[in-house]
Structure 1
Amino acid sequence: MANHLSDVPRPARAFRGRFGAELVAKLTFAAAVGFSAALVFGIIH
């Protein structure tokens, strides 16, 4: 994965990695909440 990013400076790469990690965490959290809400909604109705 680091091969195509070898030309990117380390600070930019670290920032991109941290941003990507936060984005993945938010998406995962949103998906988990949405799945739980859909499950609860399905159980209630």
Structure 2
Amino acid sequence: MDGNIRENDLSKIVDADRAHIWHHLVQHKPFETGEPKIIVEGKGM
């Protein structure tokens, strides 16, 4: 993945996240008014 996500793909990812994923280590209130962070790459530990 090159980090470039089309807007319609991003919308599908966010919708699926809201519908199916429980983020147990974060506060959920900010998700009601904002978008979740999308992590596209990670390095190290």
The two structures have a TM-score, normalised by structure 2, of 0.38
Which structure has the greater CA radius of gyration?
1
Higher relative contact order (CA 8 A, sep 6+): 2
The two structures have a TM-score, normalised by structure 1, of 0.38
* Structure with more of its chain in helix, by fraction: 1
